[in-house]
Structure 1
Amino acid sequence: MRFTLTKLTATLALSAAVALPSASAFAEGQLRVAQQFGIVYLLLNVAQDQKLIEKHGQQLGVPIKVEWVQLSGGSAVNDALLSGSIDVAGAGVGPLLTIWDRTRGRQNVKGVASLGNFPYYLVSTNPNVKTIADFSDKDRIALPAVTVSVQSRILQMAAAKQWGTGQFTRLDRLTQSVPHPDATAAIIGGQTEINGHFATPPYQEQELAGNPKAHIVLNSYDVQGGPSSSTVLYATEKYVKNNPKTYRAFVEALDEAAQLIAKNPELAADAYLRVTKGKIDRAFLLKVIKNPQIQFKVAPQNTQGMATFLHGAGAIKNKPASWRDYFFEHPALAKGS
């Protein structure tokens, strides 16, 4: 039986984007942030829990009202940003590059900050699948948004390395748009056609612990050539220019959140549980947060490879000369790449 959450999720995401209040003009001190699921958004969780954005706004003389919006998939997030329903979008570097390319010379969407470096695992419960070359028409891979999400783009990069650039979409037919929590439930339960999931922490770790058949087929770091900032935040040029103090306070709050996580992962774990109301075991969560492969920081790292691939594959028309072309300038991002 076909997994029905795909259509339901798409409908809910679209409804959420449409239902969000639209604003025709920006006002300094207003900040509406869209985030998705997982520990990759921990900087936002800590900033929300500790009221860091409001704190830095007060230091700059601007009272900031923050609204938090939960969406799923880069497509829904990008639609919400372009419609004016949100001010800052949280999604993968793939969706950022897509919207940067399509809005160049118009809304000029660029990155505001990275959320850190995270290894994303492509997990399968099919014992016959050891590498991506083993996937067949019998397999179904869940990811946040087909062809647009960073997981989808990384899978395309892997396909290009396996079969050549002309075959980069070879595995797209096997993918389905499913939110991470639902896909994780499907992998652990093993009762749907979904037998693969390109996830994020902590969902991938939960799957590996919750289903003895679950195993890692692909690590995103192997595809991207090392630690990479795959999840980022971005906004329109108009918002950043019209709200310089709010923008500055936001980035500085995230930078402080990164420092807090490094110094006090226990505080970060508690913040995550409070904000997300997650049911994950605290000790398990702490272990994931302390994974040495995970780094929470605002400066992007190793994003140019994705940009080069997307341009070479024809997925974006404009080729960025460097990461600075698709990120706004801020001192906290100075050591980006």
Structure 2
Amino acid sequence: MNHLKKLAQAALALTFAVTLASPATAANRPTLKVGYAPGGGSVLTFIAKDQKLFEKEGIEVELVQFASSADGLNALNSGKVDVGISFGTAGPLTFISKGSDFTIIGGHLSGGHPVLALPAKAGQFKSIRDFKGKTVATPRIYTADIVWRGALKRAGLDPNKDVKIIELKNPSAVLEAVKAGKVDAGIGASSVLVKARESGVAIVGWSNDYFPNHPCCRIVAKGKAVKENPEAYRAFLRAVLQAEKLKAANPRLAVEENKKFLGMDESMAKEFTLEPHQHVQADPDKKGVKQMWEDMKSIDYLQTDLDVNRHINVELYRDALNELLRRNPKDKYFKNAKKIFARQNL
């Protein structure tokens, strides 16, 4: 009888050990609430969610949509979401300058914001200096606004004197101002690209023209949360890195995900997703973020002596990438991502 009892105890212990060693179930996986805006900067998370890459990496992700970057960043600041993925770069940096405990840990989108004008005025805008004396609508605190104003400054123009700037709440309001003829041009965003083309508005330039491959949608989290649970955020980055590889191999998948998550029809999703001026990449691009920080100070957007390096964490992304390479040491895509990381962050 004692022998049977010992066998039963051993079996129970083995079962317990196997349970501990098995992958986390949905009930005990950490959950990250991820905020996004309905623009072009969320597709990696959409792919990772739909292809169950988050679950593969041991976390659950709950998506929460916001109407604007400001709404999403306020939600992140108040703890209603854990991560922001498509709220630009200028927005998070503005919150950081005002004392928010934000940390940039990765990216989603670089470049890809159109400059808009009516067709009759399109020929007036061939270079950044052509904005002198013009009335231009911009969405304040949006990344494209900072990129454009910084370019004006580098071209020797004073954004406060040489251009009449009309600040509006969001890119949709900018598009409406251009359509109504209230301004000569508008600084748009990827979120209004398709609507602009459908309404016959001309695209006279791109944010990339003024700051090549500039960072836009950064992955942002609360600094304290990252310190308390770094593995959850590393897992998030591992998932979106794998999604980036999937998108590169199968662009059609990205089109389908934007159709599904953003409610787009086929033609709109295809044009929106495959626009060549948009570069989708999970790399945090610390150098680009720091340049934008300096641009924001140069145009008096920010008045601060804060060291922005304290709010950019590239170690989590580095660790996530190294783990994927440990699993697949010959993977060409991730080996190239490591070269990009060294160029953009070290």
Deviations 1:113-165 (A, max 9, x none): 110323211111263352422523xx6x253xx2x121221232133235545
Shift in Å, 1:204: 1.8
Match of 1:201 in 2: 190
Q: Distance in 2 between matches of 1:67 and 1:196?
A: 38
1:31 corresponds to 2:27: no
Cα distance, 1:293 vs. partner? 3.7
The question of whether the paired residues in 1 share the 8 Å contact of 2:36 and 2:66 is answered with: yes
User: Is the contact made by 2:171 and 2:187 (CA closer than 8 Å) also made in structure 1?
Assistant: no
Do residues 77 (structure 1) and 72 (structure 2) align? yes
Q: TM-score, normalised by structure 2?
A: 0.71
Distance 1:164 1:266, change over 3 A: same
| C-alpha distance in 1 between matches for 2:70 and 2:101 | 17
Partner residue, 1:229: 215
The equivalent of 1:153 in structure 2 is: 146
Q: How many residues are matched?
A: 286
Give secondary structure in 2 for the equivalent of 1:217: strand
Distance 1:71 1:321, change over 3 A: closer
Q: Is the 8 A contact 1:311 1:319 kept in 2?
A: no
Q: Which residue of 2 aligns with 1:116?
A: 109
Q: Which one is further off, 123-132 or 74-83? A: 123-132
Q: Does 1:176 align with 2:163?
A: no
Matched-pair contact (CA < 8 Å) for 2:223–2:311: no
Which one has a larger percent helix, Structure 1 or Structure 2?
Answer: 2
- Aligned identity (percent) is 19
Q: Does 1:135 align with 2:134?
A: yes
Structure 2: runs of 5+ lacking an equivalent:
1-27, 322-337
- 1:251 has 2:237 as partner: yes
Contact 1:32 1:69 in 2 (8 A): yes
Contact 1:40 1:200 in 2 (8 A): no
Partner of 2:269: 285
Shift of 1:261: 0.5
Contact 1:40 1:118 in 2 (8 A): no
CA deviation string 1:183-238 (max 9, x = no partner) = 65x479x4585775433336325423x244x22333211221x1122111101111
Aligned to 1:17: none
**CA separation of 1:236/1:115 partners in 2, compared to 1, >3 Å: closer, same or farther?**
same
Q: Does the aligned pair in 2 maintain the 1:94–1:149 contact within 8 Å? A: yes
User: Counterpart of 1:215 in structure 2: which amino acid?
Assistant: A
- Structure 2 distance, partners of 1:232, 1:75, is 14
What secondary structure does 1:174 align onto? strand
Is residue 111–residue 233 contact of structure 1 (8 Å, CA) maintained in 2? yes
For structure 1, which segment, 32-41 or 264-273, has the greater mean C-alpha deviation from structure 2 after superposition?
32-41
After superposition, the Cα gap between the structure-2 partners of 1:178 and 1:288, relative to the gap in structure 1 and judged at 3 Å, is closer
Q: Following TM superposition, by how much is the alpha carbon of 1:257 offset from its aligned partner in structure 2, in angstroms? A: 0.9
Could you say if the C-alpha distance between residues 268 and 201 of structure 1 is closer, same or farther in structure 2, counting changes exceeding 3 Å?
same
State the alpha-carbon separation in 2 of the partners of residues 237 and 175 from structure 1.
Answer: 31
Structure 2 residue aligned with 1:97, among 66, 88, 93? Answer: 93
- Which of 284, 291, 296 matches 1:300? 284
Query: What is the alpha-carbon distance in structure 2 between the residues aligned to residue 294 and residue 119 of structure 1?
Result: 4
Contact 2:168/2:174 (CA < 8 Å) preserved in 1?
A: no
Cα distance change of structure 1 residues 277 and 73 upon mapping to structure 2, 3 Å threshold = closer
CA separation of 1:54/1:200 partners in 2, compared to 1, >3 Å: closer, same or farther?
Answer: farther
Contact persistence 1:156–1:169 (CA under 8 A): no
Whichever of the two has the greater Rg, that structure is 2
Aligned partner of 1:12 in structure 2 is: none
Q: CA RMSD in A?
A: 3.1
Asked if 2 retains the 8 angstrom alpha-carbon contact of 1:116 and 1:300, the reply is no
Greater CA drift, 285-294 or 117-126? 285-294
- State the partner residue of 1:216: 203
> What letter matches 1:289 in structure 2?
T
**Larger relative contact order (CA 8 Å, sep ≥ 6):** 1
2:328 aligns to what?
none
Contact 2:69 2:88 in 1 (8 A): yes
Per the TM alignment, residue 77 of structure 1 is displaced from its structure 2 partner at its CA by 2.3
Deviation for aligned residue 1:49: 2.1
* 2:94 maps to amino acid: T
Structure-2 residue corresponding to 1:16: none
Q: Are residues 1:86 and 2:81 paired?
A: yes
